[in-house]
């Protein structure tokens, strides 16, 4: 497995396969926590950490427990269970050993427990692994990390857009969520422009 | 039967395992809770206004329980809250000085004039960016009501180009002091005392040009005060509330009538 392969996966997860803007997962925090730049950044950090750790745990469980027993249809149920327990554990550990980090990220952790972007990452990397046998454990972790960073990029860009929106003279009927959704769709369209860039970049 | 039993057992097993791990983890890594701080948080008003100087009520409660702060800093809570805090801490009674926010300016439209026709954003902060504001006095109140907009208790009234604060309604949250771009609003103890209602630091002749009541720094009040509570610095008089006995002599001699008496 070459480094080029991993870098390709990482960049693709950020730009072309952005979980928010391309796969439309995790829209709830995308709209909910993107009002301010610092909360958007904190939330994205927490999501990135949880995505990597969740993938690190769910991948072996799926490959070595569920598949041999022909129980891969239980994927969703088991993954939700594992992710929820994992986030809870992470919160306990952080509260004890990293109080400053807990104060900064603590309020976002419970929100992530049932976040579809986290569940989506853990399931989609397995789908990729089924299509391409060279897409193993390490590649899955890199993909999960890239997905988290992609989440952060989308959140930070959109927080900037929303801070500008605050000062705009928006027609009354579009105020609030409608204009936010329109802005989100425009940002998503702009990310379409990245299609194919990674293959060419590393070809 | 196995087709149902094995998946059920596996999911239940994973759930049980996760539950046990979490239970053990929470037992091992339990963080001792500060019960005193939580009890104090209960008696605080929960407005999270920041008037005490800490980040919200929980910050103040934590500082109180560690002994890093004094009870009685909470102005929205007032006396009852300070007593409850002191009781929980076991420090005995504390005296709470009742305070009110006060606009240190009397320049309404009768005394000052607008130096421009302003059509911009209707806010003091915005107009201040334009040549120091619309009022002829660059230190004075412009009466566009940024302070009234942030007051949650409806204590501020803007009338005739001048904000005034009702001491009976003021809860001391200090939001208006932060909102005023001229820094005209500050806290004074609510007792019988004299207050100088001007913040103009220009020389007397300059002040006279822009305002009919502005303090010219003549120093008559300083001489009239028998307890040395009034000081003129930067051509503007100031009363030290700690020394003022509320005799009213400075207000009598003031040629500009800018010193007023505050009632308890």
Domains of chain A by residue range:
3-202
From the list B11, B22, B26, which residue is nearest A74 (CB)?
A: B11
What pLDDT score does B100 carry?
A: 85
Using a CB–CB cutoff of 8 Å, tell me whether A92 touches chain B: yes
Q: Tell me the C-alpha distance between B152 and B144, whole Å.
A: 17
Residue B141 marked as a ligand binder: yes
Following CA atoms B186, B226, B231, B189 in sequence, which dihedral angle do they give, to the nearest 10 degrees? Answer: -10
Q: Which residues of B touch A61 (CB under 8 A)?
A: 14
Residue B49 marked as a ligand binder: yes
Q: How far is B26 from chain A (nearest CA, A)?
A: 6
Confidence of residue B16 (pLDDT cuts 50, 70, 90): very high
Q: Which residues of A touch B30 (CB under 8 A)?
A: 96
Confidence of residue A55 (pLDDT cuts 50, 70, 90): very high
Higher-scoring residue by pLDDT: B32, B210: B210
State phi, psi for B64 to the nearest 5 degrees.
-65, -45
Of A3-12, A138-147, B46-55, B210-219, the least confident: B46-55
| Ranges assigned E (strand) in B179-258 | 185-189, 193-196, 230-233, 236-239
**May I ask the CATH class of domain B99-189?**
alpha beta
Confidence of residue B4 (pLDDT cuts 50, 70, 90): confident
Domains of chain B by residue range:
35-89, 99-189, 191-264
Q: Which of B15, B24, B125 should one mutate to test binding to chain A, selecting the residue with the greatest count of A CBs within 10 A?
A: B15
Give the distance from CA B9 to its chain's centroid.
Answer: 61
What pLDDT score does A149 carry?
A: 94
What pLDDT score does B30 carry?
A: 77
Is the pLDDT confidence value at A32 over 90? no
**Tens-place pLDDT, residues A70-104:** 888 888 889 999 999 988 888 888 888 877 777 76
* Mean of pLDDT values over A6-26: 87
What pLDDT score does A101 carry?
A: 74
Tell me whether residues B19 and A95 touch, CB distance under 8 A: no
Q: Which residues of B touch A78 (CB under 8 A)?
A: 10-11, 14
| Ranges assigned E (strand) in chain B | 99-103, 156-159, 162-165, 185-189, 193-196, 230-233, 236-239, 259-262
Q: Which residues of B touch A62 (CB under 8 A)?
A: none
Q: Which value does ipTM take for this structure?
A: 0.73
Are B35-89 and B99-189 the same fold in CATH?
no
For tokens 């005799």, what's the residue? B247
What pLDDT score does B69 carry?
A: 79
* Mean of pLDDT values over B41-53: 78
DSSP letters of B114-129?
BSS---S-SSHHHHHT
Residue B225 marked as a ligand binder: no
User: What CATH number matches the domain at B35-89, 1.10.15.40, 1.10.3470.10, 3.40.800.20, 3.80.10.10?
Assistant: 1.10.15.40
Using a CB–CB cutoff of 8 Å, tell me whether A88 touches chain B: yes
Higher-scoring residue by pLDDT: A174, B85: A174
Tell me whether residues A82 and B14 touch, CB distance under 8 A: yes
Q: Report the Cα–Cα distance between both ends of chain B, in Å, rounded.
A: 84
State phi, psi for B156 to the nearest 5 degrees.
-105, 135
Q: Which residues of B touch A85 (CB under 8 A)?
A: 18-19, 21-22
What pLDDT score does A142 carry?
A: 93
The mean predicted confidence, pLDDT, of chain B is 85
**Tens-place pLDDT, residues B185-228:** 988 888 888 899 999 988 888 888 888 888 998 889 989 888 88
Tell me whether residues B31 and A74 touch, CB distance under 8 A: no
Q: Is domain B191-264 given the CATH code 3.30.70.20 in the classification?
A: yes
Is the pLDDT confidence value at A183 over 80? yes
What pLDDT score does B93 carry?
A: 64
Tell me whether residues B25 and A89 touch, CB distance under 8 A: yes
**pTM as predicted:** 0.61
**Tens-place pLDDT, residues A111-120:** 777 788 889 9
What pLDDT score does B20 carry?
A: 93
Is the pLDDT confidence value at B6 over 90? no
């Amino acid at each position: 497995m070459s480094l080029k392969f991993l870098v390709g996966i990482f960049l693709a997860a950020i730009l072309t396969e952005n979980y928010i803007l391309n796969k439309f997962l995790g829209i709830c925090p995308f709209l909910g926590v993107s009002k301010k730049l610092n909360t958007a950044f904190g939330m994205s950090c927490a999501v990135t950490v949880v995505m990597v750790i969740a993938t690190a745990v769910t991948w072996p469980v799926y490959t070595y427990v569920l598949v041999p027993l022909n129980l891969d249809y239980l994927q969703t149920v088991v993954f939700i269970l594992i992710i929820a327990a994992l986030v809870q554990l992470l919160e306990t550990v952080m509260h004890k050993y990293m109080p400053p980090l807990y104060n900064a990220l603590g309020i976002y952790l419970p929100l992530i427990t049932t976040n579809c972007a986290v569940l989506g990452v853990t399931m989609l990397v397995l789908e990729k692994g089924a299509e391409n046998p060279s897409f193993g454990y390490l590649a899955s972790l890199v993909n999960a990390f890239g997905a988290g960073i992609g989440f952060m990029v989308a959140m930070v860009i959109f927080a900037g857009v929303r801070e500008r929106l605050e000062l705009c003279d928006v027609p009354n009927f579009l105020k609030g969520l409608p204009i936010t959704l329109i802005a989100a769709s425009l940002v998503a369209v702009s990310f379409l422009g990245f299609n194919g860039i990674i293959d060419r970049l590393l070809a | 039967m196995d087709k149902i039993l094995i998946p059920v057992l596996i999911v239940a097993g994973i759930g049980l395992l996760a539950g046990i791990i979490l239970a053990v983890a929470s037992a091992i890594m339990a963080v001792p809770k500060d019960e005193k701080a939580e009890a104090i948080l209960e008696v605080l008003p929960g407005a999270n206004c920041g008037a005490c100087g800490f980040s919200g009520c929980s910050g103040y409660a934590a500082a109180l329980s560690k002994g890093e702060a004094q009870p009685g800093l909470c102005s929205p809570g007032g006396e009852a809250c300070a007593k409850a805090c002191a009781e929980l801490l076991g420090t005995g009674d504390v005296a709470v000085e009742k305070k009110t926010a006060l606009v240190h300016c009397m320049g309404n439209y009768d005394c000052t004039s607008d130096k421009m026709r302003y059509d911009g954003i209707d806010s003091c902060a915005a107009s201040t960016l334009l040549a120091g504001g619309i009022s002829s006095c660059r230190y004075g109140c412009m009466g566009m009501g940024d302070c009234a907009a942030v007051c949650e208790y409806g204590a501020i009234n803007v009338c005739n180009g001048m904000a005034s604060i009702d001491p009976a309604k003021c809860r001391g949250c200090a939001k208006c002091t932060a909102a005023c771009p001229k820094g005209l609003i500050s806290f004074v103890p609510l007792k019988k005392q004299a207050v100088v209602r001007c913040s103009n630091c220009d020389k007397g002749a300059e002040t006279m040009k822009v305002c009919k009541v502005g303090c010219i720094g003549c120093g008559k009040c300083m001489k009239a005060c028998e307890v040395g509570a009034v000081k003129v610095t930067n051509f503007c008089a100031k009363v030290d509330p700690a020394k003022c006995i509320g005799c009213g002599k400075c207000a009598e001699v003031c040629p500009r009538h800018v010193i007023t008496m505050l009632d308890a």
